[in-house]
Each structure stands twice: as C-alpha cells, then as structure tokens.
Chains A and B, each alone.
Chain A
Amino acid sequence: MSAIDIRGLGKHYAGTDVLRQVDLTIDEGEFIVLVGPSGCGKSTLLRIIAGLEDISEGELYIGGLLSNAVKARARNVAMVFQSYALYPHMTVEENIGFALKVAGLSKAERHRRVRDVARSLGLENLLQRKPKALSGGQRQRVAIGRAIVRHPKVFLMDEPLSNLDAKLRVEMRAEMRALHSRLGVTTVYVTHDQVEALTLGTRVAVLRPIGESGNTNVQQFATPTELFERPHNVFVAGFMGSPPMNILLARLVRRGGALEISMGDIVIALPQAMQSQALADAAGRADGYIVIGVRPADIGVAPPGGVAFNTRITDMEMLGDHSSVSFSARTPAVPFDFDFTAKDVYTSLLGGSSLTKISARLEGRLRLRANDEVSLAIDPARIYFFDAQTGLALGNP
C-alpha cells in the first residue's frame, strides 16, 4: 500500500488553476522532493496533503484512506514550516511537547518523549529557552523535533532550509538524510533549490506553473539520477543541474548521407549510432530545426585530432581545479521555461536574438583569458535532443 496516493488532483483559486491533473504515488518510507520555480504549486500541493487547503478536484489517499474531507488534525501528518512556526510564548520543551499535550498524553510520557527527541537533535541544553533566544539552526531543529515527537505517518517539509546560511544548509541536508534513514517515515519535502532536490530525494517531482494549455504541473517524477540523465522535456533538462544545461535551437543538416548539428558557426557531426529516424522525423516536422541541450561539464578542451570547433572565449572564471568559460554561438537560446504549447514555437525563437552565451566547465588549471581563441569539443553522445515543436525528449543519452 502506498503512503500517499494523489489522483487527478486539481486546485483552483477564483477561476485560476494552480494545480491541474496531478497524479503522484508515494511509497512507504520514501523521501519525495517537490521542486520547481515560484508559482508551480509545490507548496499548495504540500498544504493540500497537510489538510490546510481544500481540494478542488481529484482524490487524495493517505495510508489508503480517502482523505479529501479529513481535517488536518486527524491526518496524523506533521509539518515543518519555512518560518518554523514555533509558538513564541512557549519554551522549546513546551513547543516540542505541545502536540502530545493536546493529544492528552501523561506528563511523564510527554517528558520522556520530548527528552528523547531533544537528545537525538542536540537540544537538551536548550529545553527551557524560548524560540527568540535560539539561532536559526536551533529553531530549525526544534521545528523538526516538534514534527518527529508525534511519530506521524508522514512528514511534510516546506522549504525548511531556505532561511539558513549556505554552510548550515549543507550541514542540515546531511542531518535530514540521516534523520530520514533512521526514522524511515515517508517524507514530502518542498524546495525551489534543485541541489537540495537532487541530494535529498529518493524520487523528485519536478513541477511547473500551469500554463493556459498545460495538462499538468508534474513534468517528471523520477529518481535524481534519472531526472539528470534522462529529462523528459526541456523544462526538466533546464531546471535540474547546476550550472544549468545550455539549451539551443539548432538545425539538423544532412551532409553526404550523414547528419550534422549546425548551431551557426559550430557544426558537430553525429556518430552513426545517433542518427535515428526519430531525430530526422522530428527535425523534418519543424523545418529542420531541433532543440539540443548540452551540460557545461560535457564541453571540453578538444583533444588533439578530435572533432572540435574553434571559438573565442567571452568570459572566464578560474575556480581552482576547474574553470567556468563562456563563448557564443550564432543560434537562438531556448529558455528552459519556454512555452512549447504556443504555435510555431521555433519560428518565435528565431525572431529573438541569435547570439547565445554557452557555458562550459573546463577541468584542470587552464591558463585562459577572455578573447583567447580555443578549440573546444562536445561529446556528441552527451548531447540531449528535444522536439522543437513540443519540447519533449527524443531518445536522449
């Protein structure tokens, strides 16, 4: 039995769809991350699971029980809020034990469970403090303690790390992972940070704001590796990964029986194994255009004698053991959130700027400067192809 089953879920506010046709099945003990840009409905979906928002359409099952009309207090779910929402008039001990008090547990039992949780989170010395006397990290721990002390069926976390500084965030990520593997409770975690999504989630749902003709918010629901290596569409490809994937409009050109990708002055011949009929058909439907994606790490300095192209560096950042380099290609960029449901999408892209900045992550300590001419190479096997009319993936690597 799945821990949470969401079927055809929709949410409207004053005639505007925030969520449409959301289907997610979350198994017992999974750590699910809902990720997406602002307005994609990830927090709304979390609040619906918590019972803090009504459902406009569809069904929500928690532990196999239809929960659309079940009140928040009866769902046995615990939530960690972005602002932590600690009760300011209560001490840490009272905050953590409040749910147990409301549930009518004896003082001794409350005391025992609060002490156990405090010990596991390193809060033992802070139990008599009020929230205002705690640091951000300590408050965050109290909020987690308040959630776990109840032994809920599901943990819900709404961007719990977003108020912490970068260093503490990395530490807390590790603690979250350890906590989840120790407790094994099904967790649904919301973030807009794709690094958090990739590092924490056993599976990740990438959500997108619903457009006028979008069918659903969920763009892909898969493991982090699958999302990174086999993105379903341009949106997922562009959103997941740091630095983000370079996504460009290119032409698929047949030269002497072989297929080549032409991005203005950069031309890359495709190996025989990659010259699929699906690729040629997709390009044929879009006047020879195709969308390609290349991750910065898949661009490298050309090995001697390899297939390469010459370009001029426009910007360069030396970052120790690697360099972040930019150069330009004479072809339009495709924004990751481009609306492929509009008509004549590739022609609208052609109407924009045709000079695109491409980022590359070059390994090693290179002595390059802006305006230097370099010979770079892209491994054709690492290029992602997308249909220029739909934005959907075409047999990606």
Chain B
Amino acid sequence: MTSASRTLLLRHRPALNRQVSRLPIYIGVTIIAVLVLYPFVFMLSTALRESTILRFSPWDLVPSDVTLANFHRLFSDTSMLNWLGNSMFVATTTALLKVGIDSLAGYAFARLQFKFKELIFLLLIAAMMVPPAVTIVPRFLLLRDIGLINTPWALILPHLSYPLGVFLMRQAMATIPYELEEAAKLDGCSVFTIYWRIVLPLVAPALAVVVITTFMYQWVDLLWPVVAITNDGLKTVTVGISSMKAEQSRADWGLIMAANTCAMIPIGMLFVFCQRYFMTGMTSGSLK
C-alpha cells in the first residue's frame, strides 16, 4: 500500500466507522418501513388482480396480469362515488368548523380574561380523558331526540366538541409574544382583527394539525357512522366498504381493496399537501 492510499484510508476511517456504527439503526428503520408499507402494497396488489384469483402467496406482491377491472366494477356496480362524496362533505365540513371553533376558543383561553377560565379549561382537558366509545349511547340518544340521526350533522356535530384542538390552539397561541398583539392594538386593531390578522397566520402549523387530524378522524371513523347513519344514501366511505363485505355471501377482496385504495387517495393528498405544516405543528413548542 502506498503512503498516499494509506493516508486516504486513514482520512476516511472515521466516516467509515460512523457508517458501521449506524448499521443497526438502518436495519431497524428498514424493518419498520417494511412492516408499515406491506399492508399498502398488499392492498394495491390485490386491487390490481382479477377477483377470481382468491388466494395467492403473501410474498407474491407483483401481479402477473395487472388489471383495472376491480376499479371499473367499483364505480359501476357500487355507490362508491356517493360514499366518497358523503365522506368528503362530512370530513371537510367538520375540519373547517372545528378549526374555526377551536382557534376562537384557544385564543380565548390563551389571551382573554374571564371568570372561571382555568376551571373551564381544566374540565375541557378532563373531557379528553373520556374514551369516545363510552359516550356513544348518550350521544345517540341526544341526537335522536333532536332529530339529527340519519343526517350528516349526526356525524359532524359530535366531533366538534372534542377538545384536543382547543388545547393545541391554546398552547400554540400562548407562545406568541404579547408585544405583537400590543403592537397590533396600537396599529388600530380590534380583538377580532388581532386574532384574524396576527394570531391565526402565526399558528398556521397548529391550524394544519387540527385540520388534518379532524379530516383523518372523520374519514376513517367507522363505529359512530355505523350507529348514526342507517340511510343508504348517507353512508360514508368506511361504512360503505364494510357493507360490501356484509352484503355478499363471499367477500370480493379485489373489489374491497380497490375501494380501500380509492378511499386512501384524499387522505394521502391532504397529508402530502400539508406535510410541511403538519411536521412543524407536531414539533412546535418543543424548542424555543
């Protein structure tokens, strides 16, 4: 070995050692990635096969004959478009209403002074500890009594009361320096203008978190829509897909997986679109 190549090797040794020491981390991360991705790949693989092929090896992920027949049947033989539309309306309306209500409530808790503020906030936080399943029966009875069962509002209104968003908004708004709001006051702003023009833009990442989590929750929720909606025309996409299995004597997995694939698209698009805000929002407040 020449002295030059020896020098080169010595110079690169620390970097090499670092790579080797990180090997277990890379292996661990790869295993987790495979475990997370496998169901998605399996779903897509099944959706792209002929439904007549009932069984295939779990390792056979690339179909020999790719077909879109399941997708054709999905939109011609089922009410998938209607279900998607219902889900989109419910999830979008809930997300928009929730982000408006939660940000207003969060601002009140973060900045305004009123009687029993701390107590009310404590009660809200305590409400987060109650598992949603516990409230299903009283929720159903309440909505039935006011005549909202079997309407989209039966899906939208209950979720608006879930206080996690208020907590998130309050925490995000509490980090905004008071001086910014004072400067806005002197610039002629009312309390609402300060909220609208100064505070909301500064908590955009937290707003994105509330929108995405609300949208996702409403999109994938199955239990409550099954209880609250029995009218076929109002079924959401999760209820619709689950009924596909129940209505057939033999589950048409190709069709179901095609439906699942379609159901995932809006969520995936929303996440990709808001990813930057979402990641910032998840870490906001962790560093000064």
Q: Are B185's CB and A87's CB within 8 A?
A: no
Asked, given contacts A85-B177, A85-B179, A102-B193, whether A79 binds B201 with beta carbons under 8 Å apart, the answer is no
B190 within 8 A of A: yes
Query: How many residues on chain A are close to B (CB under 8 Å)?
Result: 23
Q: Are B182's CB and A81's CB within 8 A?
A: yes
Most buried by A among B180, B185, B188: B188
Minimum CB distance partner of B201 in chain A: A89
Q: Are B188's CB and A99's CB within 8 A?
A: yes
Interface residues as binary, B274-286 with A (CB distance below 8 Å gives 1, 0 otherwise): 0000000000000
Q: Are B185's CB and A72's CB within 8 A?
A: yes
- Determine chain B's interface SS by DSSP, over half rule: helix
Q: Are B189's CB and A81's CB within 8 A?
A: no
Contacts of A72 in B (CB 8 A): 182, 185-186
Interface range for B: 10 to 19
Contacts of A150 in B (CB 8 A): 187
Q: Are B188's CB and A81's CB within 8 A?
A: no
B148 within 8 A of A: no
Say which residue of B177, B182, B187, B190 sits within 8 Å of A98 (CB atoms). Answer: B187
Most buried by A among B180, B182, B187, B189: B187
B127 within 8 A of A: no
Q: Are B202's CB and A85's CB within 8 A?
A: no
- Determine chain A's interface SS by DSSP, over half rule: loop
A366 within 8 A of B: no
Interface residues as binary, A80-101 with B (CB distance below 8 Å gives 1, 0 otherwise): 0101011111000000001100
Say which residue of A79, A87, A103 sits within 8 Å of B188 (CB atoms). Answer: A103
Q: Are A79's CB and B183's CB within 8 A?
A: yes
Q: Are B188's CB and A85's CB within 8 A?
A: no
Q: Are B189's CB and A73's CB within 8 A?
A: yes
A32 within 8 A of B: no
Whole-angstrom CA separation of A78 from B183 in the bound complex: 8
CB distance from B188 to the nearest CB of A (A): 4
Asked, given contacts A88-B202, A89-B201, A89-B202, whether A83 binds B179 with beta carbons under 8 Å apart, the answer is yes
Whole-angstrom CA separation of A377 from B197 in the bound complex: 65
Contacts of B202 in A (CB 8 A): 88-89
Contacts of B198 in A (CB 8 A): 87
A77 within 8 A of B: yes
Whole-angstrom CA separation of A146 from B183 in the bound complex: 10
Asked, given contacts A89-B201, A102-B193, whether A81 binds B187 with beta carbons under 8 Å apart, the answer is no
Interface residues as binary, B180-219 with A (CB distance below 8 Å gives 1, 0 otherwise): 1011111111100100011001100000000000000000
Contacts of B193 in A (CB 8 A): 102
CB distance from A156 to the nearest CB of B (A): 8
Q: Are B186's CB and A77's CB within 8 A?
A: yes
Q: Are B179's CB and A81's CB within 8 A?
A: yes
Q: Are A85's CB and B183's CB within 8 A?
A: yes
Most buried by A among B183, B197, B201: B183
Contacts of A77 in B (CB 8 A): 186
A52 within 8 A of B: yes
A185 within 8 A of B: no
CB distance from B47 to the nearest CB of A (A): 43
Interface residues as binary, B91-122 with A (CB distance below 8 Å gives 1, 0 otherwise): 00000000000000000000000000000000
Q: Are B187's CB and A52's CB within 8 A?
A: no
Q: Are B186's CB and A83's CB within 8 A?
A: no
Minimum CB distance partner of A147 in chain B: B186
Say which residue of B180, B186, B190 sits within 8 Å of A87 (CB atoms). Answer: B180
Identify the 3 closest CB pairs spanning chains A and B, nearest first.
A99-B187, A85-B179, A85-B183
Q: List 8 A-B contacts (CB under 8 A).
A: A50-B182, A51-B186, A52-B182, A73-B186, A73-B188, A85-B183, A89-B201, A99-B188
